[in-house]
Each structure stands twice: as structure tokens, then as C-alpha cells.
């Protein structure tokens, strides 16, 4: 039994993958990103009562921030629907069909009647204040080496607007991404180890790619993780973009929950929660800091701010306890203050003296608050209203420490840690989208069956049948460019699939290793090159040079221009060239006879590499030499 | 009550003794979920609709799954709004529309339902502006509005001023809001503003414009210096300000945008900045407040709005006459024309005591029936050119005029009198919007 199984680790995945439909989920806009803005919109959102008569906590949390929301309105990729100025058009059925196809592929059950719901999201990422989403399938499973992992739901939903910037008073989005169809696949909490989570994510991603109907590239697939350990709670971690980070994020979260449980147990030996709540107190300590050397405190006091202290009974040593690499319990508290009270952060007793606050000040604070042997304290600086709010937030968070792990939605950090984002939303945030009639799935199932992905095993066989060796076939199977491979091989039948696969899987890596800028090479560029091979304009050997030359940083040439440089030469030209080379090397040819061949071959190839195949050159050299020696 | 269920699903649910709100389990060999039974608005009568634990609704066909009743649920409690009886400085009269709406399960559509008091709970900042009182006069969709309801609204407005309100806000559906605005404008002499307000995004959604529109309208009703009927809606797509348009010069010019309402052949009277809580009056030729409130709301709805189009035959006029219509507003082409075939039909109608007035389907600009011969001939037949009056406003005005008198000359005099700013004698270049083309 692994360490994590002993901890009772349970992980569920939510995979969100953009679908490559011809238009968005609820309008006719293309599903491409677009930076060209035709203006801005300024909006505010407010929470509403759901059909069950409740208001969602997460929604209220966002509203309390009262932020102005600014939208950049792109010319090509948005219309009045994204602007929330026109009701949604009927749902894109191609997206629903893909959801049904995946349901069938996982051996799940399609929902008979599909209802579009509004999931309240009032952080501004949806202009309407809700994300439109519909469950299309339930149940099913995938087989993993460590056991079956169940599929809970498969939903089709609209992607959110793309966040551009976030300040304390306003948040700015681009509307281009809003409405791109997403498929959301949620597994049950059946995953038992961090590595298994990564494997399952890979497998689901691969099955999606096998449909040939999903987007690829940065930001087109996102993983959310639901993590808990025995005694902990299910924590949602949002926005994991790198598959390789999944195990580390899970490990960190499992350890965080374990540390929080240890903290709970230790606190309980020191003081009861009731006693904590009785003894915890706050006090205005501004007077102690009027001549403080802390720059932060000085600047806040100048603006009329306050320094308030909170006595934290029983928390000595705990505020400074590490719960994740580089993150202490105090950091967790500080994140709550940042998110819920809009303040920069806190100072706590386990990290002082520091940050310009000196020992003498620490002692005076302790005295003023009456800090006992096992007690800690927290200082908050800023405008009084926010500071008071912050102290309330801190009290609540410290009090929760006696219970263990609070229910949170967290955001993944790039280093594999995570931080508090908001309280977990409840089911109250869902209510029906009344602008869209329900959809009967039986009318779509026939089409869905036709686009079901083949299994990876089947696909591997197919690829090898096309002439790919096993290694290359596996590379293609696991590649995000699988759909591109299929597209190119279907369309350009004169080019062997091996060449297409090599170009996509190896040549691009080679070009990168040689200092080429891969980002410059678009799918269209690759297609142009393959098409040129298909027409016999260039030889396959020239592909690496063409791509390398094209992608050289600072080069502005068009791919067509590079290709024309490598375009093949006629047999007549080649023979003339060979004759020329033979004439220049007449001495060697005379003295060495046939053995001069490799010399000539080298000299000719130097001048025609990439424009004609070596085999052809060799053949013509032999012919010329034969003529010459007659 | 198994709201909305029919056929097979109803049969099964009844046999289980299940009711809306109960917890059910549905299962087969592939799926096993529980959820709360929701009212059905399904197209398929075998489908049972559940709200799952994760909040999603999903439909399951009883042909494919087994259903069991797990437990009784909490009934979905409708919070009944009651009317606020204390008098306020601003009165809100609610008539329906999406500014006060919620989901109806039977059809899945949005229906007017919330009480005005619930709106106050929804937009608490109202109470920072002034004291208000509220009345739900009726709750109808604006497309179901009729002239007899205009009378009721006019009377309710009078009552509100008589009770001491300084201004009145009328919550109204947007589709026919400009008709009601015109009807009220012709019917009332006012000691304060009457502000019609609606929303283009229903109030059941977080992005609704209803909150800002309502707050702005209350502010306007309290602070505007005029005694006239206005429509106050979003000034642009952004949530920045609202515009108060003169009730007889406003038109809904877009099916769905927040800034659908625009002054036509006119400029707005005021701009309301909801964040700053200020009213910026844009013109000084507004109608001043009168000393008291007077109501004269009589309408004869035997009036027809005739939109001319190529191929329309004059026999339509005779059909209208024989059906007892007493007035016709023509929405003619260009400067105010119909085909010359109509000359005789109109001549006969006018001779029979029918009022025939001309407006333009161009909406922007003024009719002028002297420029072309057809126009001159139509005038000779007795057709009265109605300047730059909007076709719908002319229609409502004619209903009102016919409610006052049956004397054709008197009707004509009323129709040609600029009573509440329905005519704008001066059009400048900026009275016509220009659309971006490059």
C-alpha cells in the first residue's frame, strides 16, 4: 500500500476540453481567438435567487467585491450574443453529439432529455452572469492499471471569457473565448494515487483527441482536481494546465490536508474551540506604531489607516507551521484576507520581528493583547473598514482550524502549490436556461455513434497498417497533433504517412533543437509544405531545412518563398550540373575511376540538397561517369 | 400537484405517489442517480425531470430507467410579496414585464411574477435614494396590453399623486412600453415626472439591466424638474447611464439590446448617472410641473394602423369602414405616400367622417405631401399629413382624440395640435443617427 493510499487519498478529475466546432455553442461566431477589438463594454453583475429560492454563497462572495467588469469586444469572434445583448441561438448540435459520443465510448448512459442550465458565475467571466451548461451523459468508466475509474458526468458547456487583467476595482476580459464549446468529463473520486490521476487525465485527453474533433494548443484543455484524504474534505483545485503538474499538486494538497488535521489535533490539546472563541479579541494598536520603521505601516498610517491586532489564543507556533512547500498556515490565513477583505496581507507572531517591525514593538503588542504562553497574534494594516472586515475573516478561519480542513475552491499555482480562491459553490447556483428548448438525445444518437473515438489499441493498429513503425505509431497516438496527422494523410495521398508522422513528431523537435522558433510554424505552414511534397515540387528530404529556415528567429520570409528555393530541378539541369562537377574534378575521376563516385556525390549534393533525392543524383552521376569514361 | 406532467411519466409518478420536490432515484444497469423531482416542461411525455445533487436538471425516459421514491422533499416555498402600505415620495406601479419576472415551469418561459416589494429586496440601494411605496396594479406581458389598461394605469398615476407622491415609476414590459407612454402623455396633466421603465434582460439573471434602470428611474421620479411622461432605459450597452426619452418621441428600435429605446426625431430629456446618483437635464424645453394632477383617459380603439406596401389594394379601406373603424393612420412610404389607387377610397372614407392621417414608415424625418403629385392628390382626398409624429404615437393620439369627440373637424384640430411635444418642428443634422460603415 502506497503512502497516499494509507492517507485515504481520493481524487476525482474534471477535464475541460475545447471542441473544434465550426462555430460557437450558442451563436454563429467562429471558435478562434481574436485580438482586434471594436470597442469596450462596462458592466456590473448582481446575484439572483435560484429556482429553489436560495442565493449561492459563491455568487454572493463575488458580488460583495462590487467590481466593475470591462469587456474587450473582438470584431471577428464575438457578436451580440457574447455581449449579452441578444438571446442565445439554438445550441450547436455538433458539440452535443460529441458529448454523446464520448458517453457511449465510456459505456455510459446518455441523458434522454438534455436541459441547458445556467450556472451562476458573477466574477464577470460570463457576460450573462452565468455559464450555460448541460449534462448529456451519466455513468460509464475507464480502465486503468490501478483499477476502474468511474465517469460521473459528461457535460457540454460554454467556455468563459478570457481574463486580461485584474485590479482591486475592476477586471477586464476579452470576449473571444466566451462561448467556445467545452466538453467536461468528471470522474468519480476513485483515483487513489497522484500518478494514477495523471495517467487517467492522459487517457481521457487521448480519447478526446481520437475523435479528431477537439482543439489543441495552450489553454484548450484544463484540468480541475477534487482532492481529499481520510478526515479531510473534498477540495476543488482549479486551472491545472500542465498534465505533468497533476501528481505534484495532488501530493501538496494531500499533505496540506494532513497538516491541517495535525494542527487541529494539536490545537485541541491546547484549548477548546469554545475557549478560543471566548478569548479571541481585537484591539486598535495604531498608537504603538506611529513611529514604526515598517514602510508598509508608515504608508498606510499616512493615508489614515489603522493597525489592528488580534489575539489568537492557542496559535503560538502554528501560524508559522508549513502546510505546503513555501506556504505556512499564516499564508493560508493571509490568502483569505486577500480574497475576502481585499487587503494585501497580514503579519503574524511566528514571523516577527521582521518586515521593519522590531522586537520592541512585538513585545509591546504582546503586552497590549495580553498574549499568553501558547498564544499568537496577528496584525492587520490598512483602511479601518477593510481591516475590521479582515479581522472577522481571520477569526472565522482560525476558528475553522479546530474543525480541520475548510471547504474551499483553490487555484493551482505554477509551482504545484495552490491557494484559496473562494468558498465552494453549492447546487443553488444552477437554474434552467429558459431561452433554449430542451433537446431529446435519441434524435442525435445515430450521428453520435458515427463519431465515437476508436480505442487506443484499435488506433495503434490502424496507424501501423498505414506503414508507421510501432515507435512512430505510438508517438502519433499520444500526440496532440493526432488530428493533424489524420487530416494531412487523408488529404495528401501522394505523401507517405511515415513522412507526415515524422514531420509532425520528429522534424519539429529537430527544428526546435536547432534554434528554430516552432511557434512561428502554423498548421497551415505545415500543410503548405506537405502539399508541396504531394505535388512533387519539393522532396521529403528538404522538409527539415525548409522548416528550419522558415522558423529562424527574425526571418520574415513567407513559407512559399522558402519552399520555392527548395523546389526541384529538372533532370537536364541536374545532368549539366553533374557534367560541370565532373569537369572540375577531371583529375580525380581519371586517377580514381569508379572510386571517385563518392567525391562527386558529395560535391553535387552540396549544391542540390533538398531539391532532389540522393538516389536520383547517384543514378545520374553513374550515367554521366559511364558516358565520360565511355 | 405534478405540474406539467402528462402521459406515461404522469402515470408512473402518480402510481408512486410522488410530488414535485420529492427525492427520487432513477436507475438501470448503467446509471444510478437521485434527484429532486422538478416540474416538467418536456417535449416527451415519458420523461421525468430531476434536479441532481450537482444542481443540473436532466430528463430520464421511464421507458429506459426504473424510478423509486426515496423521500419527501421540502416543498418549494413561494414567498408571497405583500404590498407596502406606508406612503413614499416615489410610487412604483407594477404592470408586468421582465423587470419583474421569473421562470415558469410549465413552458420554461420567463413570466412576470415577482411583487414590487421583492424588487426592492432585489435592489436594496433604492432605499438610499428616497422612500417608496409600491402597488402591483396588474401583472401582464406587455404584448397583452390594451387601451383599457392604459386607463387603469392613468388612474393609478393620479391616485399616486393625490396621495402625495412626488413622482411615479411605472414598471412595464418593453414591447409596447412606448404605446403606453404615449397614452399616458395624452391623458395626464402632471405635477411631477411619470417614468416608465422596463428591462431588456429579465431580472432573473445576474446581468439584468433591471436593477440599474429601476434605481435610475426612482432617482428621476424624485428629482427631475418636469411634469411629463418619459421612458427611462439604458443609454448604451454598457451599464454606465440611462436616458429619459419623451414618452411621445420614443421607440423600441432593437429586439434585444439594452439601449433599444431611442428618441426619434428628438433628443432625450435627461441623462441619469446611477453610480453618482445624479440627474443631468439635457434640455430646457421640458413640460413644467402643473399644480395638480388631471386625468382625461378616454380611448376609442376603433382605429387602424395601415402600413402601405407595393401591391396593397384599396379594398382594405372599405373593409375597415364596414367593420366600423373610425380612424386610419397610414404608415406611408417616403414623404407620405400610398399608391394613387387609394385616392378614391380615402376620399370616400373622409366623406363618411373617418379621420385619415399620414405618417411615414421611414420613421426618421417629416412627411411632406406637397412635393409629389401623389401627395397633393392624397391631401385633396382629405388625408391629413402628421408631420414627424411617429406612426404608433399618431395611432394612440387618434384613439385618444376619438375618445374626446366624434366631430371630425375637432378630431383634426386635436391631431394637428402639438399637445405634449409629439411634434418637433425643427430637425437638425444630429437628429439622425449614422451607422458605421468602415
Kindly write down the DSSP assignment for every residue of B57-98, as one continuous string: EEEEETTTSEEEEEE--------------S--SEEEEE--SG
Instruction: Find out whether A546 and A560 touch, Cβ atoms under 8 Å.
Output: no
Higher-confidence residue: A501 or A340?
A501
- Which positions in chain A touch B20 (Cβ < 8 Å)? none
In this structure, are A106 and A206 located in the same domain? yes
The three-state secondary structure class of A56 is coil
Q: At what angle do helices B147-162 and B177-187 cross, to 10 degrees?
A: 60
CA angle, B251 as apex, B248 and B252 as ends, to 5°? 150
Give the minimum alpha-carbon distance from A91 to chain B in angstroms, rounded to a whole number: 16
Cell 437628429 belongs to B431
For residues A375 and A311, what is the distance between their CA atoms, to the nearest angstrom? Answer: 7
* pLDDT given for residue B363 in this prediction: 97
- Which positions in chain A touch B257 (Cβ < 8 Å)? 80, 85-86
CA angle, B380 as apex, B376 and B382 as ends, to 5°? 120
- Percent of chain A having pLDDT more than 70? 96
Give the minimum alpha-carbon distance from A397 to chain B in angstroms, rounded to a whole number: 26
What would the pLDDT profile of A480-536 be if each residue is shown by its tens digit? 888 899 999 999 999 999 999 999 999 999 999 998 888 889 899 999 999 999 988
- A420 lies in a domain? no
- A103 lies in a domain? yes
In this structure, are A152 and A239 located in the same domain? yes
Instruction: Find out whether A154 and A187 touch, Cβ atoms under 8 Å.
Output: no
Average pLDDT, chain A: 90
pTM to 2 decimal places: 0.84
Compare CB distances from B109 to A44, A122, A434 and report the shortest one's residue: A434
Q: Do domains B90-295 and B303-416 have the same CATH topology?
A: yes
Query: Cell triple for residue A345?
Result: 496581507
- A297 lies in a domain? yes
For chain B, how many residues are written? 438
Yes or no, beta carbons of A434 and B103 under 8 Å apart: yes
Give the minimum alpha-carbon distance from A217 to chain B in angstroms, rounded to a whole number: 30
* pLDDT given for residue B329 in this prediction: 98
The CATH code that applies to domain B7-71 is 2.30.30.520
The CATH code that applies to domain B303-416 is 3.40.50.40
What would the pLDDT profile of A297-325 be if each residue is shown by its tens digit? 999 999 999 999 999 999 999 999 999 99
- A438 lies in a domain? no
In this structure, are A354 and A384 located in the same domain? yes
In this structure, are A511 and A600 located in the same domain? no
* pLDDT given for residue A65 in this prediction: 59
Task: Answer with the one of A266, A284, A303 that is the final residue of a domain.
Answer: A266
Higher-confidence residue: B112 or A194?
A194
* Diameter over CA atoms, chain A: 111
In this structure, are A119 and A252 located in the same domain? yes
* pLDDT given for residue A57 in this prediction: 59
Question: For chain B, what are the domain ranges?
Answer: 7-71, 90-295, 303-416
- Which positions in chain B touch A84 (Cβ < 8 Å)? 201, 207
Residue A312's domain is classified under what CATH number? 3.30.1360.30
What would the pLDDT profile of A112-133 be if each residue is shown by its tens digit? 999 999 988 888 999 999 999 9
Cross-strand pairs, A134: A156
pLDDT at A62 over 80: no
pLDDT at A79 over 60: yes
In this structure, are A517 and A606 located in the same domain? no
- Flag whether residue A443 sits within 8 Å of chain B, measured between CB atoms: no
* pLDDT given for residue A576 in this prediction: 87
Query: Cell triple for residue B156?
Result: 393609478
Spell out the per-residue pLDDT of chain B, length 438, in tens: 787 898 999 999 999 999 888 999 999 999 999 998 988 877 789 999 998 988 899 999 999 999 999 988 765 444 444 444 566 799 999 887 767 666 544 344 555 555 566 666 677 788 788 888 888 888 888 889 999 999 999 999 999 999 999 999 999 999 999 999 999 999 999 999 999 999 999 887 889 999 899 999 999 999 999 999 999 999 999 999 999 999 999 999 999 999 999 999 999 999 999 999 999 999 999 999 999 999 999 999 999 999 999 999 999 999 999 999 999 999 999 999 999 999 999 999 999 999 999 999 999 999 999 999 999 999 999 999 999 999 999 999 999 999 999 999 999 999 999 999 999 999 999 999 998 887
In this structure, are A202 and A239 located in the same domain? yes
- A223 lies in a domain? yes
Yes or no, beta carbons of B55 and A44 under 8 Å apart: no
**Fold assignment, B90-295:** Rossmann fold (3.40.50)
How many CB pairs (< 8 A) connect A and B? 139
Contacts of B408-412 spanning 24+ positions with Cβ under 8 A:
B408/B350, B408/B353, B408/B354, B408/B355, B411/B327, B411/B355, B412/B355, B412/B384
Active site residues of B: 98, 174-175, 252
Domain that holds residue A583: 571-629
In this structure, are A106 and A55 located in the same domain? yes
- A441 lies in a domain? no
Question: What's CA A151's distance to the chain center, in Å?
Answer: 21
For residues B424 and B266, what is the distance between their CA atoms, to the nearest angstrom? Answer: 7
- Which positions in chain A touch B258 (Cβ < 8 Å)? 85
pLDDT at A391 over 90: yes
Task: Answer with the one of A367, A401, A435 that is the final residue of a domain.
Answer: A401
Q: Which A residues 369-398 touch B at CB under 8 Å? A: none
What would the pLDDT profile of A434-458 be if each residue is shown by its tens digit? 889 999 999 999 999 999 998 888 9
Mean pLDDT for A267-275 is 95
* Diameter over CA atoms, chain B: 82
Interface test with B, best of A113, A150, A152, A155 (most B CBs within 10 A): A113
For residues A434 and B61, what is the distance between their CA atoms, to the nearest angstrom? Answer: 21
Q: What is the ipTM of this complex?
A: 0.90
Yes or no, beta carbons of B56 and A117 under 8 Å apart: yes
pLDDT at A54 over 70: no
* pLDDT given for residue B142 in this prediction: 86
Mean pLDDT for A372-393 is 92
pLDDT at A165 over 60: yes
In this structure, are A179 and A48 located in the same domain? yes
- A219 lies in a domain? yes
Task: Answer with the one of A511, A530, A565 that is the final residue of a domain.
Answer: A565
Res. A564 pLDDT band, cuts 50 70 90:
confident
For residues B411 and B430, what is the distance between their CA atoms, to the nearest angstrom? Answer: 33
- A415 lies in a domain? no
CA angle, B74 as apex, B72 and B77 as ends, to 5°? 140
Chain B residue with the nearest C-alpha to that of A155: B56
Counting the structural domains of chain A, the total is 4
pLDDT at A430 over 60: yes
Give the minimum alpha-carbon distance from A423 to chain B in angstroms, rounded to a whole number: 16
In this structure, are A126 and A44 located in the same domain? yes
Amino acid at each position: 500500500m502506497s503512502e497516499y493510499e494509507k492517507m485515504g487519498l481520493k481524487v476525482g478529475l474534471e477535464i475541460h476540453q475545447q471542441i473544434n466546432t465550426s462555430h460557437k455553442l450558442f451563436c454563429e461566431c467562429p471558435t478562434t481567438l481574436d485580438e482586434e477589438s471594436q470597442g469596450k463594454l462596462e458592466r456590473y453583475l448582481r446575484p439572483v435567487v435560484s429556482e429553489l429560492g436560495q442565493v449561492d454563497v459563491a455568487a454572493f462572495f463575488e458580488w460583495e467585491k462590487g467590481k466593475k467588469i470591462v469587456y474587450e469586444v473582438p470584431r471577428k469572434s464575438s457578436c451580440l450574443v457574447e455581449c449579452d445583448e441578444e438571446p442565445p441561438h439554438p445550441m450547436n448540435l455538433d458539440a452535443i453529439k460529441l458529448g454523446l459520443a464520448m458517453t457511449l465510448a465510456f459505456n455510459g448512459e446518455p441523458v434522454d432529455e438534455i436541459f441547458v442550465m445556467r450556472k451562476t458565475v458573477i466574477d464577470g467571466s460570463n457576460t450573462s452572469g452565468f455559464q450555460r451548461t448541460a449534462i448529456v451523459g451519466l455513468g460509464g468508466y475507464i480502465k486503468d492499471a490501478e483499477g476502474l475509474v468511474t465517469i460521473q458526468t459528461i457535460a457540454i458547456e460554454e467556455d468563459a471569457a478570457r481574463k486580461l487583467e485584474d485590479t482591486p476595482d475592476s477586471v477586464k476580459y476579452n470576449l473571444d473565448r466566451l462561448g467556445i464549446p467545452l466538453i467536461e468529463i468528471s470522474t468519480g473520486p476513485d483515483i487513489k494515487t497522484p500518478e494514477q490521476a495523471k495517467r487517467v487525465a492522459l487517457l481521457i485527453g487521448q480519447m478526446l483527441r481520437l475523435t479528431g474533433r477537439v482543439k489543441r494548443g495552450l489553454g484548450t484543455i484544463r484540468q480541475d482536481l477534487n482532492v481529499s484524504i481520510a478526515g479531510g474534505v473534498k477540495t476543488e483545485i482549479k486551472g491545472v494546465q500542465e498534465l505533468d503538474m497533476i501528481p505534484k499538486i495532488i501530493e501538496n494538497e494531500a499533505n496540506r490536508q494532513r497538516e491541517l488535521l495535525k494542527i487541529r489535533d494539536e490545537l485541541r490539546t491546547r484549548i477548546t474551540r469554545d475557549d478560543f472563541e471566548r478569548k479571541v479579541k481585537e484591539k486598535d494598536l495604531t498608537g504603538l506604531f506611529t513611529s514604526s520603521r515598517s514602510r508598509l505601516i508608515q504608508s498606510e498610517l499616512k493615508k489614515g489607516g489603522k493597525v489592528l491586532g488580534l489575539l489568537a489564543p492557542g496559535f503560538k507556533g502554528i501560524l508559522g507551521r508549513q502546510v505546503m512547500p513555501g506556504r505556512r498556515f499564516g499564508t493560508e490565513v493571509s490568502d483569505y484576507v486577500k480574497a475576502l477583505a481585499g487587503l494585501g496581507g497580514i503579519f503574524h507572531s511566528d514571523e516577527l520581528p521582521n518586515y521593519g517591525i522590531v522586537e520592541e514593538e512585538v513585545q509591546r503588542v504582546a503586552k497590549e493583547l495580553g498574549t499568553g504562553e501558547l498564544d499568537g497574534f496577528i496584525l492587520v494594516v490598512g483602511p479601518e473598514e477593510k481591516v475590521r472586515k479582515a479581522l472577522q475573516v481571520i477569526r472565522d478561519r482560525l476558528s475553522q482550524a479546530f474543525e480541520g480542513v475548510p471547504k474551499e475552491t483553490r487555484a493551482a499555482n505554477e509551482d504545484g502549490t495552490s491557494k484559496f480562491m473562494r468558498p465552494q459553490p453549492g447546487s443553488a447556483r444552477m437554474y434552467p436556461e429558459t431561452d433554449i428548448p430542451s433537446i431529446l438525445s435519441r434524435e442525435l444518437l445515430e450521428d453520435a455513434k458515427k463519431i465515437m473515438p476508436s480505442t487506443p489499441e484499435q488506433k495503434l493498429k490502424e496507424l501501423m497498417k498505414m506503414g508507421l513503425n510501432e515507435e512512430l505509431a505510438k508517438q502519433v497516438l499520444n500526440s496532440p497533433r493526432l488530428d493533424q496527422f489524420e487530416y494531412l494523410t487523408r488529404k495528401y495521398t501522394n505523401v507517405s504517412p511515415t513522412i507526415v508522422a515524422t514531420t509532425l513528431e520528429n522534424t519539429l523537435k529537430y527544428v526546435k533543437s536547432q534554434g528554430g522558433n516552432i511557434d512561428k510554424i502554423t498548421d497551415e505552414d505545415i500543410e503548405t509544405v506537405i502539399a508541396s511534397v504531394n505535388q512533387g515540387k519539393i522532396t521529403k528530404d528538404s522538409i527539415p531545412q525548409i522548416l528550419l529556415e522558415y522558423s529562424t528567429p527574425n526571418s520574415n520570409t513567407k513559407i512559399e518563398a522558402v519552399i520555392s528555393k527548395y523546389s526541384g530541378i529538372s533532370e537536364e539541369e541536374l545532368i549539366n550540373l553533374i557534367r560541370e562537377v565532373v569537369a572540375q574534378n577531371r583529375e580525380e575521376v581519371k586517377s580514381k575511376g569508379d572510386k571517385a563516385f563518392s567525391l562527386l556525390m558529395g560535391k553535387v549534393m552540396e549544391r542540390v540538397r533538398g531539391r532532389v533525392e540522393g538516389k536520383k543524383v547517384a543514378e545520374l552521376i553513374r550515367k554521366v561517369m559511364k558516358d565520360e569514361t565511355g | 400537484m405534478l405540474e406539467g406532467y402528462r402521459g406515461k411519466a404522469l402515470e408512473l409518478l402518480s402510481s408512486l405517489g410522488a410530488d414535485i420536490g420529492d427525492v427520487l432515484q432513477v436507475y438501470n444497469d448503467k446509471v444510478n442517480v437521485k434527484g429532486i423531482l422538478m416540474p416538467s416542461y418536456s417535449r416527451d411525455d415519458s420523461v421525468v425531470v430531476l434536479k441532481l445533487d450537482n444542481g443540473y436538471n436532466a430528463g430520464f425516459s421511464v421507458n429506459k430507467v426504473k424510478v423509486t421514491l426515496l423521500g419527501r422533499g421540502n416543498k418549494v416555498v413561494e414567498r408571497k410579496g405583500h404590498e407596502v402600505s406606508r406612503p413614499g415620495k416615489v410610487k412604483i406601479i407594477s404592470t408586468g414585464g421582465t423587470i419583474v419576472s421569473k421562470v415558469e415551469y410549465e413552458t420554461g418561459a420567463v413570466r412576470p411574477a415577482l411583487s414590487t416589494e421583492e424588487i426592492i429586496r432585489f435592489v436594496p440601494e433604492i432605499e438610499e435614494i428616497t422612500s417608496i411605496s409600491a402597488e402591483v396594479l396588474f401583472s401582464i406581458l406587455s404584448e397583452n396590453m390594451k387601451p383599457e389598461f392604459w386607463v387603469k394605469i392613468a388612474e393609478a398615476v393620479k391616485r399616486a399623486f393625490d396621495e402625495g407622491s412626488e413622482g411615479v415609476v411605472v414598471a412595464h414590459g418593453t414591447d409596447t412600453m412606448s404605446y403606453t407612454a404615449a397614452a399616458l402623455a395624452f391623458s395626464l396633466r402632471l405635477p411631477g415626472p411619470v417614468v416608465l421603465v422596463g428591462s431588456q434582460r429579465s431580472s432573473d439573471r445576474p446581468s439584468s439591466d433591471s436593477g440599474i434602470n429601476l434605481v435610475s428611474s426612482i432617482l428621476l421620479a424624485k428629482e427631475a424638474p418636469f411634469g411629463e411622461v418619459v421612458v427611462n432605459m439604458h443609454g448604451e450597452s454598457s451599464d454606465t447611464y440611462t436616458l429619459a426619452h419623451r414618452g411621445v418621441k420614443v421607440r423600441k428600435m432593437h429586439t434585444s439590446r439594452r439601449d433599444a429605446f431611442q428618441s426619434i426625431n428628438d433628443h432625450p430629456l435627461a441623462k441619469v448617472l446611477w453610480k453618482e446618483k445624479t440627474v443631468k437635464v439635457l434640455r430646457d424645453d421640458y413640460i413644467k410641473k402643473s399644480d395638480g394632477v388631471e386625468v382625461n383617459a378616454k380611448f376609442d380603439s376603433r382605429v387602424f394602423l395601415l402600413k402601405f406596401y407595393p401591391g396593397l389594394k384599396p379594398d382594405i379601406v372599405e373593409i375597415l369602414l364596414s367593420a366600423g373603424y373610425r380612424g386610419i393612420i397610414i404608415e406611408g412610404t417616403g414623404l407620405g405616400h400610398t399608391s394613387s389607387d387609394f385616392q378614391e377610397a380615402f376620399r370616400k372614407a373622409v366623406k363618411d367622417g373617418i379621420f385619415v392621417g399620414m405618417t411615414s414608415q421611414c420613421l426618421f424625418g417629416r412627411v411632406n405631401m406637397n412635393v409629389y403629385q401623389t401627395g397633393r392628390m392624397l391631401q385633396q382626398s382629405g388625408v391629413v399629413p402628421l408631420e414627424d409624429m411617429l406612426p404608433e404615437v399618431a395611432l394612440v393620439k387618434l384613439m385618444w382624440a376619438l375618445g374626446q369627440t366624434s366631430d371630425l373637424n375637432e378630431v383634426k384640430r386635436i391631431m394637428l395640435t402639438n399637445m405634449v411635444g409629439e411634434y418637433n418642428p425643427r430637425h437638425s443634422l444630429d437628429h439622425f443617427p449614422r451607422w458605421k460603415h468602415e
